[in-house]
């Protein structure tokens, strides 16, 4: 599997997300990232791949464990993210800010992060990518008791989810465990 720790990343975009993808990829390559780009390859392709097809291709590469993570781009980030989410084991999120990107990875362990070029400026896309790619589940929340365990359990239950089993079980989630978690405010001495 191509891993984040080794600076290996999958990217993809439709024609609307292409300019944002290019800005982010240029930045990441300057920082030493090895990028596998599944398209589109130019702004003027004769028959560019539609957003959902790029999303499905990227989702499949995550499902098949070829890549640990992917960055995807379309007009809104929504369509490409919905498509990638159809593949097993994909935890996709759409973000438009650095705080949302940080929470997507640190609290939800997303392995596919989508952005919309209609709403995310190139520099913001770069900042989002840097934040997302430099963090893992639970990072920065060590001060919050059970934060990692609580969110890891949620991810594990989602990964194990089977709709037919859920339906047979009266629409009750099959629990893999429990961890108590209270909402907390970051202590002043570790703000920053």
Instruction: Decide if 7 contacts 35 (C-beta within 8 A).
Output: no
Whether 74 is catalytic: yes
Please state, as a whole number, how many other Cβ atoms lie within 10 Å of the Cβ of residue 129: 25
Q: Which of 62, 71, 74, 83 is catalytic?
A: 74
Q: Going by DSSP bridges, is the β-strand pair 8-13/34-37 parallel, antiparallel, or unpaired?
A: parallel
DSSP 8-class letter at 143: T
CA 23 and chain centroid, separation? 18
Q: Work out the angle at residue 106's Cα, subtended by the Cα atoms of residues 57 and 141, and round it to the nearest 5 degrees.
A: 170
Active site residues: 74
């Amino acid at each position: 599997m191509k891993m984040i720790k080794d600076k290996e990343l999958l990217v993809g975009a439709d024609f609307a997300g292409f300019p944002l993808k290019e800005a982010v990829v240029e930045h990441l390559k300057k920082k030493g990232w090895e990028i596998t780009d599944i398209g589109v390859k130019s702004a003027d392709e004769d028959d560019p791949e539609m957003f959902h097809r790029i999303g499905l291709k990227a989702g499949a590469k995550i499902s098949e464990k070829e890549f640990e993570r992917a960055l995807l781009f379309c007009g809104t980030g929504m369509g490409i993210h919905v498509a990638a989410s159809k593949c097993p084991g994909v935890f996709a999120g759409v973000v438009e800010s650095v705080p949302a990107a940080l929470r997507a990875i640190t609290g939800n362990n997303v392995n596919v992060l989508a952005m919309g070029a209609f709403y995310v400026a190139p520099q913001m896309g770069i900042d989002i990518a840097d934040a997302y790619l430099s963090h893992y589940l639970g990072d920065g929340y060590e001060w919050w008791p059970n934060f990692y365990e609580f969110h890891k359990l949620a991810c594990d239950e989602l990964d194990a989810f089977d709709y037919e089993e859920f339906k047979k079980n009266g629409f009750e989630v099959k629990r893999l465990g429990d961890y108590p978690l209270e909402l907390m405010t970051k202590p002043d001495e570790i703000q920053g």
